[in-house]
Homo-oligomer: A and B are copies of this chain.
């Protein structure tokens, strides 16, 4: 199914989600999307054959904290109108990962040549949105200061299974003073569509994390004596769960290369 680009009289607003997508689509932006189009929602991507889509949708519905679904396509349709009018899921991310039977086979910059009429796209909220709300409130995020990836851990918290999809919740960790941890609960509670409130505070061993210095994904960050580790359900959970299913075909975003949408982060605040 082809997408007819919109005829535009005007150039897109600089710094907008649309401007970011057009730059990516035109191959003018290739790197990570962090910091691109501030204020606009970015999303994790999972593209699955229609045969698995109903179970995966049910998995998201059962696990809203780790898999907050913010957009979904019709089978074979590369558009996701709920997130942006002019959006082609095949070209609008800087980089993708293509998987066959659980094996990573390519990391291309667009996926038009492997597109199929039975593919269903799932866009899942990401922590960039709530991190923007935290930093706007003056809460410093260690991984941003250290210019590294947020540390992520597989936990002993099981997701609710749906069809073949099951596995542990993956969490991200941000160290905070107790006062900031309390404020962070209040702020992120307002954003249920982008992981919402933390799932755990303070005692990593209780959720199966043996060593904070050894994250399963991302980079370790310092947790100071006056801080608590604060844990949020992470959008890597669905990727990790899909990996165990080893679908015959699947496309995900390349880590850090997210889908930039036209929705504003503030739209996702429930109050």
Q: How many residues of chain A get a CB closer than 8 Å to chain B's CBs?
A: 18
A210 at interface, CB cutoff 8 A: no
- In whole angstroms, how far apart are the Cα atoms of A203 and B201 in the complex? 12
CB interface residues, A 240-271, toward B, < 8 Å: 271
Chain B residues within an 8 Å CB radius of A185? 182, 185-186
Q: How distant is the Cα of A158 from the Cα of B226 in the complex, in angstroms?
A: 18
A197 contacts the other chain (CB 8 A): yes
Kindly identify which residue among B179, B186, B198, B203 contacts A228, using a CB–CB cutoff of 8 Å.
B203
B201→A181 contact, CB < 8 A: yes
Among A169-197, those with CB < 8 Å from B are 178-179, 181-182, 185-186, 189, 197
A202 touches B178 (CB 8 A): yes
Chain A residues proximal to chain B, CB less than 8 Å:
178-179, 181-182, 185-186, 189, 197-203, 206, 226, 228, 271
A-B residue pairs in contact (CB < 8 Å), sample of 19 = A178-B201, A178-B202, A179-B200, A181-B201, A181-B202, A182-B197, A182-B198, A182-B199, A182-B201, A185-B185, A185-B186, A186-B186, A201-B201, A201-B202, A201-B228, A202-B202, A202-B228, A203-B228, A271-B271
